[in-house]
Amino acid sequence: MKLAVKEERCSGCRACELVCSMRHFSQPNPKRSAVRVVGNFPAPGRYSLVTCDQCGECAKVCPAEAIREVNGHYEIDRDLCTGCLLCVEECPRGAIFVVGEDQVPFKCVACGECVAYCPRQALVDADGEVAWAGLSARRRAEEASGR
Amino acid sequence: MASGKLYGYGGRILRVDLGTGAVRTEPTPESLAREYLGGRGFVAKILWDELPVGVEPFSAGNKVVIASGPMAGLFLPGSGKIEMGTKSPATGLYGEGNMGGHLAGELKFAGYDAVIIEGVSPKPCYVFIDDDRVEVRDASKYWGKGCFEAEKMLKEDLGEDFKVATIGPAGENLVVYAVVSHDFGRQVGRTGVGAVLGHMKVKAIAVRGSRGFEVADPAGVLKKGKEMYEACFAKPGFDEWTPYGTAGVTDWVNEICAFPTKNFQTGYYERHKAINGQTLKERICILDKGCTGCPIPCGKYSRFEFSGKTYYVEGPEYETIALMGGNLLLENIEDVAYVNYVADELGLDTISGGSVVAFTLECLEKGVLTPAEVGRELRWGDPEGVAWLLERIARREGIGDVLALGVKKAAERFGKGSERFAMHVKGLEVSGYESRYAPAMMLAYMTADIGAHHNRAWAITYDAAVGQDKTEGKAWKVIELQHIRPLFDALGLCRLQWVEIGFELSHYADMFPLVTGWEYSWEDLLKISERIWNLTRCFNKREKPDFGRVYDLPPLRWMEEPLPSGAGQGRCMPRDKAEKMLDEYYSLRGWDSNGLPTKGKLQELGLGFVLERLKLES
C-alpha cells in the first residue's frame, strides 16, 4: 500500500483522522491520527494533507534502531523505542506524532483505512491494492437491487 | 449530582465567569446526559435551570451555553454539529442556533461537552481552551475585526489546529441577529447569540483537544461507522446532490411558488436560474468544503470578483440565495456572493439581514421611509446598496441603529402600516420559504420555538407531495418533523445525509448504543426530543406571561395579502384558517387551546419541575 494524495479533492472532513485514530487507538481523536488535514483559508481556500510516504528517514535517524521496514512501510517498535523523539524532529514531512504524556511516538503503518473511507478519494493507494470502499458498496447495492 | 462513566461524551462542563475571570469544570451530570442527550437538550435544560426569570438578554444575568452532543466528533457521516443558545435579544424568548464545522468534535476531544459563559467581561476577551488549560485572554488586538479576519489572526497566533469561533462588528455592536462564525464560513445564526457574546465582550472561543474521548464499544463503533459511510457512498445523491449542496433546491422552490421574492411579495423570481446551484457551481465554486465526518460536503467555498477585487466566501447557501438573492432581486450569483461575504465578515445573519434590507426597500417603495431618512437612495437589485446598508446596521449608524433591532421592532418604530410587510414570527425573520402556497411549511414557521425558522420542520416537501392547497390534516407531519429534526441538534449530528440523500434513520439508532452503552431505541430518543420541545415552549411562557396562541400567528402579509401571481396566485392564510391549523396542532401535541402544554403532557415527559414555575392548569 503506497499512500498518495489528491489534495484538491479534500473537503476537510477529517474522516481520515477519525478512522485512523479509531483503528489504531480505539478512540476518536485527530491528535492520534497519522494523517492530518490542514486548512489554508480564507485564501487560497483549499486543504493540505500531512501524510507519511514511508521514506525511511526515521529508521535511519533512530538511535535505538526501533524503527524497521515491514512490507514496504516503516513501523516503530514500542518496546525498543526510548522516547528520544528524534524521529519526530527529523521526519521531512512532519508525519510522526507524539501526544501528551506518551513516551512513544506513532506514525502511519500503511493500513489503508483512510484510503478506503475518504469520502472524496483524496487519499489513494498508488499501488492499487486498497480500493475505495464506495466501489464495493455500490456493487453490492446494484446486486441487491437486482440489476 | 451523580456521574457514572459517560461514553461518547467529553465528560466535563466548563463554566467561565467573565466578571471574575474564574474558570471551573464540573463532571457532566449523568442524569442530564441520559435525559437530555446533549446539544440543544443541554442548552434548553441549563438555560431553564440557571437563567433568572425575566433576565434581560443584554445583561450580566444572561448566559451563553455552547453544547456538543454524544454523536459529534465520531467516525460517522455528519458528526460535526454544535449548538449555542441564550435568551434571545431578538425575541426575548428561547434562543438557539446550530453550526457545523469542527468545533463540536474539538470540544469533546478537549474533554468537554459544554461551555457555559456567564457574566460580562470588563474588556474584550476570548476564551482559550487547550485540553485542561483554560484561560480568559485579552482580545483587544482582535476586537473590531471581521469574523474571518479575526479567525485568521487567532489561527496564526495560536496554531492552525485550533478550532476558532468569532463574532464580528455586528455582534460587538449588539445587532440582534448577529452570528457566531467558525471555520471561515459556518455560522450559528438566527436569534442573536453573537450579540449576547458581544455584550459579554467575548470576541472568540478557541479550542484544541488532544485527549479524545471513549466510546462504549470501539470495535463496534468502527465497524458500524464503516457501514454508515458505505451506505452513503452507494446513494445516488452522493454524486448528484453534493456538487450543488443546499443551493441545488433553488429551481424547485421557484417551481412550487415558494421562493421569497421582493420581500415575500411573490413566490417566484424570474432570474432564479442566474442565482441557482448550477450557476454557483459553474461560475464561482472552487471547493466542496465539509464538516466533521461529512461524506457529502455541502459547503460551496467560492472565489469571485466584485468591482475588480477578489473575494472568498463559503456560499451562498440556499437561504442566502433566497433571502438576499430573490428577496432583494439581485441579478447574478456574484452579487449574491458579495453581499453574503459582507454579511459574513460583519457577522450578521444573512436570513434576518436579507429580510431587514428587503423590509427597508419596501419601506422606501411605499413611502414609509424617505431616502433622506435612510441616508442613501437604495433600490432593488443593487448589491452595493445592500452592502452599504449592512455596514450601517453593523455599526449602528443612522437608520442602521433601528434596523439592528430586526423587522418587528423596526416596523413598530416606523409605523405607517409597515408592520404589514414585516416578515417575522415571534420577532424572528422568516427564512427561505414563501409559504402562502405551502400550509405545512407555514405551520412549521408559526410553531417553531425560536420564531420563524425552517430547521425545526422542513415541511415544504410534504406540502408538495400531498397538495399545496390542503390546510387540514398536516399538523401531524409538522409535529413528527419537529421531533426528528431537532433530535439531530441534541445528538451533535447533521441531518442532511438523511434529508438529502435518503440515508436511513435506523443507522443512527443502531450506532447510539455502541457509542453510549445505553440501550435507547429510536422511539426513546424521539421522546427526549419531545421533552426538549415542550421545555423550550415552557421557557417561552415563563419569560413572556402572555405567551401562547397569539405568538404563533403568521406574518400579516401571509394572513392578509393573497399571492398576486404564479402557481400559488390568490392563496393566503387568513387568520381563522391559521387558527384552525393551530387548533389541530395543539390538540395533537397534548397542549391546551392557548398552545401550552397540559399538566398531563408535562408529567408524561418528566417535566413536572416546570409546573411550580408555570402553575399550569391540568
- What is the pLDDT confidence band of residue B2, given thresholds at 50, 70 and 90? very low
The string of pLDDT tens digits covering residues B200-242 is: 999 999 999 999 999 999 999 999 999 999 999 999 999 999 9
The answer to whether the CB atoms of B219 and A26 lie below 8 A apart is yes
Average pLDDT score over chain B: 97
Boundary (domain end) residue, out of B429, B454, B470: B429
Residue of A nearest to B291 (CA): A13
Q: Is the pLDDT of residue B491 over 80?
A: yes
Domain boundaries, given as residue ranges, for chain A = 3-145
**In the prediction, which pLDDT does B613 show?**
78
- Is residue B232 in some structural domain? no
Q: Is A44 exposed, middle or buried (0-12, 13-18, 19+ CB in 10 A)?
A: exposed
Reported as a single tens digit per residue, the pLDDT across B18-45 is 999 999 999 999 999 999 999 999 999 9
Are residues B443 and B408 both part of a single domain?
no
Q: Please check the confidence at residue B618 and state whether its pLDDT lies above 50.
A: no
Q: What is the predicted pLDDT for the residue at B1?
A: 42
pLDDT at B615 over 80: no
> Mean pLDDT throughout A46-66?
97
B207 contacts in chain A (CB < 8 Å): none
Q: What is the pLDDT of residue B371?
A: 98
pLDDT at B569 over 80: yes
Of the candidates B193, B208, B223, which is a domain's last residue? B208
Q: Closest approach of chain A CAs to the CA of B233, in angstroms? A: 5
C-beta separation of B344 from B311 below 8 A: no
Instruction: Give the per-residue pLDDT at B80.
Output: 98
- Split at pLDDT 50, 70, 90, the class of A130 is very high
Cell numbers given for B597: 402544554
Are residues B587 and B444 part of one domain? yes
Buried b (16+ CB within 10 A) or exposed e, B542-581: bbeeebbbebbbbbbbbbeeebeebebeebbbeeebbeeb
Give me the domain span that covers residue B72: 12-208
Query: Are B564 and B424 contained in the same domain?
Result: no
Can you give the pTM of this predicted structure?
0.98
Asked if residue B572 lies in contact with residue B560, where contact means CB atoms within 8 angstroms, the answer is yes
* DSSP 8-state code for residue B241: T
Residue type, B617: E
State residue B353's pLDDT score: 98
- Write the single-letter amino acid at B575: R
Q: What pLDDT does B617 receive? A: 42
Q: What is the mean pLDDT of residues B427-441?
A: 98
Backbone angles phi, psi at A132, to 5 degrees: -65, 135
Would the pLDDT of A138 be above 50?
Answer: yes
**In angstroms, what separates the C-alpha of A99 from chain B's closest C-alpha?**
7
Asked if B184 lies within 8 A of A29 by C-beta distance, the reply is no
Mean pLDDT of B590-613: 95
Whether residue B310 is found in the same domain as residue B404: yes
Band (B614; pLDDT cuts 50, 70, 90):
confident
Nearest CA in chain B to A27: B214
Q: Cα separations (Å) of B108 from A16, B25, B39, B175, B217?
A: 18, 14, 12, 30, 17
Q: What is the dihedral of CA B154, B156, B162, B168, to 10 degrees?
A: 30
What is the DSSP secondary structure assignment for residue B324, as one 8-state letter? Answer: I
Answer yes or no: do B452 and B317 share one domain.
no
Residue A101 has a pLDDT of: 86
Q: Kindly report, residue by residue over B321-377, the tens digit of the pLDDT.
A: 999 999 999 999 999 999 999 999 999 999 999 999 999 999 999 999 999 999 999
pLDDT digits (tens, 9 = 90+) for B494-512: 999 999 999 999 999 999 9
* Residues of chain A contacting residue B234, judged by C-beta atoms under 8 Å apart: 134, 137-138, 140-141
Burial (0-12, 13-18, 19+ Cβ within 10 Å), A77:
middle
For residue B215, is it within any domain?
A: no
Q: What is the pLDDT, as a whole number, of residue A147?
A: 58
Mean pLDDT over B369-391 rounds to 98
B610 class by beta-carbon count within 10 Å (0-12 exposed, 13-18 middle, 19+ buried): buried
Q: What is the CATH number of the domain that holds B538?
A: 1.10.599.10
Cα B488 from Cα B40, distance rounded (Å): 9
CATH of domain A3-145: 3.30.70.20
Q: What is the mean pLDDT of chain A?
A: 96
